[in-house]
């Protein structure tokens, strides 16, 4: 029998690619519930053109119990991707992030426990941000987990991480799933809450639940109208509109950039493999790329004359390094990231180019907002 799948947030960046894969490659029946958040989709009353026409689209919020209950009642699998996704924004829109991300999942779990349904699997979209700073190595102390850098340290432009025991400088290692969680924003906290709530209810009631911690996901369809989206979309959009990338600190912060197609590979493995049940997996590449490198790669491809702006500013709560250890998902689910950063960026730029003349580039409005709230120094 064809599996019936509900994708919450299925009109968004990752969700819409997942919907394509579920329908076109796997032949599943897919329903979507999505609010079409204005910040992500602009003002619109119909789903975006890229959305798969074979999916059943329902406009609504996961915070609407009745609506969600009806859709869950018709599903075998739920991918829960609906969320507010801005890290910095979550530090001043606290209620909105808690309502959508924590209470939204509370609705889903309450329905799974109290209403009739046939749901056999739930997959939750978590994030690398739950870790805070990643795992590191200190020459004297071995493996350590540095705390967030202090305001005083940032004020003195000492960007690199120090050992929490002896204070020496440390080097980043790959961060595995057993590393301590240390979220440094309301968004990250909401993802940690989702993980705990989902696994607790899943274990208690025998609902197979999998948590996937996506690292920095980039690719086509990432909202360009949303100034809170990922750095690749922001730098590409700025370059295509003649503006140089703005780089915080010294540009040597490193991240693990994962293409959206590889994230979708992990999402589908999570429903196909029983080894995924009740587990938490990192979804990344294990390859560190600095923000400076991202800026260079993107501007070289679009407009080599643009020189990145190093404004010596920093955002409170930003982490310095976090790179995924993906041994667990490789070994248990057979996951292999397939798309190189260079290839993924080529695809992203090809997709943004034709839209460039219509784009209203707004990333600096966000910087003003962060400054007003004291979150950017």
Ligand X SMILES: NC(=O)c1ccc[n+]([C@@H]2O[C@H](COP(=O)([O-])OP(=O)(O)OC[C@H]3O[C@@H](n4cnc5c(N)ncnc54)[C@H](O)[C@@H]3O)[C@@H](O)[C@H]2O)c1
Closer residue to ligand X (CB): 48 or 73: 48
Q: Which of 3, 4, 56, 63 binds ligand X (CB under 6 A)?
A: 63
- In this structure, are residues 334 and 273 in contact, taking their beta carbons and an 8 Å threshold? yes
Q: Which of 113, 153, 117 is nearest to 133 (CA)?
A: 153
* C-alpha dist (Å) from residue 283 to 92, 322, 333, 343: 28, 12, 11, 18
Site string for ligand X, 214-243 (x = CB under 6 A): x-xx-----x------x-------------
Identify which range of 80-88, 169-177, 284-292, 300-308 contacts ligand X by CB under 6 A: 80-88
Tokens of 29: 């029946």
In degrees and rounded to multiples of 5, residue 114 shows phi and psi of: -110, -10
Nearer to Zn ion, 42 or 164 (CB): 164
Q: Indicate which of Zn ion, ligand X, none lies near residue 165 (CB less than 5 to 8 Å, by partner kind).
A: Zn ion
Residues in contact with Zn ion by CB under 5 A are: 138, 140-141, 163, 165-166
Shortest CB 141 distance to Zn ion, Å: 3
Nearest to 271 by CA among 108, 120, 127: 120
* Contact flag: residue 319 with ligand X (CB under 6 A): no
Q: Are 104 and 198 in contact (CB under 8 A)?
A: no
Q: Name which of 121 and 170 has its Cβ closer to ligand X.
A: 121
Should residue 62 be labelled a site residue for ligand X when binding is judged by CB under 6 A? yes
Q: Are strands 136-138 and 171-172 parallel, antiparallel or unpaired?
A: antiparallel
Beta strands in the chain (DSSP E): 4-8, 29-34, 56-59, 77-80, 121-127, 136-138, 142-144, 171-172, 174-175, 208-214, 216-218, 246-247, 254-259, 280-283, 288-290, 309-310, 321-324
Nearer to Zn ion, 139 or 364 (CB): 139
* CA pair distance 117, 238, nearest whole angstrom: 46
Task: Report what 40 binds from ligand X, Zn ion, none; CB cut-off 5-8 Å by kind.
Answer: ligand X
State which residue, 214 or 314, has the beta carbon closest to ligand X. Answer: 214
Residue nearest to ligand X (CB): 12
Q: Is 89 in the site for ligand X (CB under 6 A)?
A: no
Of 62 and 375, which CB lies nearer to ligand X in the complex structure? 62
Residues that bind ligand X (CB under 6 A): 8-9, 11-15, 33-37, 40-41, 61-63, 81-85, 100, 104, 125, 127, 214, 216-217, 223, 230
């Amino acid at each position: 029998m064809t599996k019936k799948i509900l994708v919450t947030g299925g009109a968004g960046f990752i969700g819409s690619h997942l919907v394509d894969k579920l329908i076109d490659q796997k032949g599943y029946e897919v329903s979507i519930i999505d609010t079409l958040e204005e910040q992500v989709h602009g003002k619109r009353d119909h789903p975006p053109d890229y959305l798969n026409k074979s999916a059943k689209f329902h406009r609504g919020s996961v915070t609407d119990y009745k609506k969600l209950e009806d859709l869950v009642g018709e599903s075998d699998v739920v991918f829960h991707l609906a969320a507010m996704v801005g890290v910095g924004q979550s530090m001043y829109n606290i209620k909105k992030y808690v309502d959508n991300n924590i209470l939204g999942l509370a609705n889903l779990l309450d329905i799974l426990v109290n209403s009739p349904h046939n749901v056999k699997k739930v997959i939750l979209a978590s994030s690398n941000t739950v870790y805070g700073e990643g795992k590191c190595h200190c020459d004297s102390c071995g493996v350590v987990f540095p705390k967030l850098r202090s305001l005083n340290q940032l004020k003195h432009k000492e960007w690199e991480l120090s050992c929490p025991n002896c204070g020496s400088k440390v080097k980043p290692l790959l961060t595995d799933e057993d590393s301590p969680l240390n979220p440094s924003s309301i968004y990250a906290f909401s993802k940690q809450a989702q993980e705990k709530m989902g696994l607790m209810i899943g274990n208690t009631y025998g609902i197979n639940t999998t948590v996937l911690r996506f690292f920095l996901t980039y690719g086509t369809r990432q909202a360009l109208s949303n100034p809170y989206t990922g750095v690749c979309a922001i730098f590409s959009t700025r370059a295509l509109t003649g503006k140089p990338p703005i780089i915080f600190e010294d540009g040597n912060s490193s991240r693990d950039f994962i293409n959206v197609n590889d994230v979708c590979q992990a999402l589908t493995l999570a429903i196909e493999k029983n080894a995924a049940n009740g587990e938490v997996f990192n979804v990344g590449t294990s390859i560190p790329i600095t923000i400076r490198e991202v800026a260079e790669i993107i501007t070289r491809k679009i407009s080599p004359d643009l020189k990145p702006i190093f404004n010596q500013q920093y955002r409170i709560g930003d982490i310095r390094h976090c790179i995924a250890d993906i041994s667990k998902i490789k070994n248990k689910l057979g996951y292999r990231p397939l798309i190189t950063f260079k290839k993924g960026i080529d695809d992203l730029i090809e997709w943004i180019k034709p839209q460039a003349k219509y784009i209203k580039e707004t990333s600096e409005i966000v910087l003003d907002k962060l400054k007003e709230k004291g979150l950017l120094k």
